[in-house]
Chains A and B, each alone.
Chain A
Amino acid sequence: MPLELLSNIRGAGPSPDVGKLFDIIKDALPGNDSADQEVISGDICVHLESLRDDEVIESSSVEKEIIKENFPERKNDYLVVSRVIEEV
């Protein structure tokens, strides 16, 4: 998929500065061995047994009011969304 579509940014394309960073990584590890390596680190992951149960937390009335206030467009007390065109 083109970068423009992946990023939802018009005219998006590879940047030469960022390309230099990518080249350094490629050169640092020239083979493909690392692609198959186990790299998940316990240091930055949360173990399944440590996860809390799902919980529904009711937002306060102030929070609900601000969420509505933040909505980009309102008309006659309705929150207006953009038109969705189904693409086949």
Chain B
Amino acid sequence: MDSEILKIHEAYRKGSLNCSGLIASRIGELEKSNHNSVNYMLSDLAMEMAAEADDRIKSGKELRPLEGIPFGIKDVYMLQGTSSSGSSGILKNYKAPYTATAIVKLLDAGAIPVARENCDCFGHGSSNENSYFGPARNALDKNLVPGGSSGGSAVNVARGFTTFSIGGDTGGSIRQPSGYNKVYGLKPTYGRISRFGLMAYASSTDCVGPISRSLEDIRLLINIMSGKDSRDQTTFKSDAIPDEIFRNDPDLKKIRIGYYRNFIESDNLDENIRNDFIRLIGILKEQGNAVEELEFYDDTILVSAYYVLAMAETASNLARLDGSVYGERVAGESIRDQYALTRSENLTEETRKRIVGGNQVLAHGYAEDIYQKARYLRKMITDSFNRDFRNVGIILSPVTPNTPPLLGSSLKNPMVMYLSDAYTVGFSLGGLPALTAPLGTDTGVQITAEKNGEERILKFAKYLKEIL
């Protein structure tokens, strides 16, 4: 049995583990940790919920799907009554008035939130160094970045502090830190899980997704969180993914696999990752899978198109942070002064840079020359995916061009940080589901399918795990 959730449930049923003991132990580990992966502990709430779960277990009632399972929440989700900062200074004292739809579903299934996790401020970063709370540290080597923006979430899962964590992925923010910390992380199809209650970064690519050490748990979590929500009108109804998908299926050898030749030939790709990826493709061919080389856009074009669109959207989304009705306020002579002082003093340098860049591309003169071109490129990228998925069932790629950098080095060279998203942003622009599996290369492999193809991705990941 691969599922950690089901293992915990078995122990609860046998009486060899009680929920209060498990939650207390996870809280203790988080408090002792020096990975700086947490912004706010939720200890009181978690212990109260654990006592209720123990009562339920003792009474012999049927366990809910996530009964008594400790989880972490990236600090960009609303959870009523808890501090919800988005890892920013401007919202450091802000309390969420309501709870995000995805989190409500997890709570209704019995899961217990233990911590609000460190991340890049409003998702603006790929190293978790752009945080009001300071950088989180990689789970495997504290001198390295954990990746971002969902860095704290990936670290907590990798260290075993949480059984799963809920990250957010706009251009790779679940997949890249999952790769850097060697865990599974899924960005679902855009619209499969409601974004209601997620602090918006770039609304047209923002996705809610799980990070876990177990593939089976990713399936359970996706099933629980998915569904149409009237409060996010981009959501759609999807079918539950059955557990039988993990049984041996000889047809997996018949899946035609594609990979982007230019990704593998890119000068930006680390030599070891390149060699490991080529080896992985060789193993699949030996298994009988047909493999096709595909052509795609240059990685710098993908990164640029993504950042232009994401900055334009974040400039609009974060215009609300002006100190008027919530958040820190710096008073000025006039309301315009208040806006400028509040934002100048309370937003981080990277966040200010993205807001200014966003307003720049939306301004007269730039909109036609840059923003519209980026939108057009997005359409061409989507058309390219549609063509590719007529020929192949799965597209594989490295998750990242390089292994995690040393803490501090990304801040010195932001272009290198932007390029660390080179292999993830394209799939975000296409709204496709993509999974990081900690297999094949040092930062894992990214498995992508057409829209709503999560079932095929999970099946294929299990197959890869078995043959590697």
A residues contacting B by CB (< 8 A) are 1, 3-4, 6-15, 17-18, 20-22, 24-26, 28-29, 32, 34-35, 37, 39, 41, 43-44, 46, 50-52, 55, 59, 62-63, 66-67, 69-73, 81-85, 87
- B373 interface residue, CB < 8 Å from A? yes
Main secondary structure of the interface of B (DSSP, over half): helix
Total interface residues in chain B, CB < 8 Å:
73
**Residues of chain B lying within 8 A (CB to CB) of residue A14:** 356-357, 360
Task: Check A18/B357 contact, CB under 8 A, given A37-B376, A84-B334.
Answer: yes
Min distance, Cβ B349 to any Cβ of chain A, angstroms = 10
> Given A29-B373, A82-B338, list of 7 further CB < 8 A pairs?
A17-B353, A24-B303, A25-B308, A66-B95, A83-B333, A83-B334, A87-B336
B359 near A28: Cβ-Cβ < 8 Å? no
B325 near A29: Cβ-Cβ < 8 Å? no
A6 near B301: Cβ-Cβ < 8 Å? no
Distance, CA A63 to CA B376, complexed state (A): 41
**Residues of chain B lying within 8 A (CB to CB) of residue A46:** 233-234
Main secondary structure of the interface of A (DSSP, over half): loop
- The 7 nearest A-B residue pairs measured at CB: A72-B329, A34-B376, A24-B304, A18-B357, A66-B97, A70-B326, A85-B334
Min distance, Cβ A35 to any Cβ of chain B, angstroms = 4
B residues contacting A by CB (< 8 A) are 80-81, 94-98, 190, 204, 230, 233-234, 298, 300-301, 303-305, 307-308, 311, 315, 319, 322-329, 331-341, 343-344, 347, 352-357, 359-361, 363, 366, 368-370, 372-379, 382, 414-415, 418, 431, 451
Task: Check A28/B98 contact, CB under 8 A, given A9-B340, A17-B415, A84-B335.
Answer: no
CB-based nearest A residue for B96 = A66
A28 near B418: Cβ-Cβ < 8 Å? no
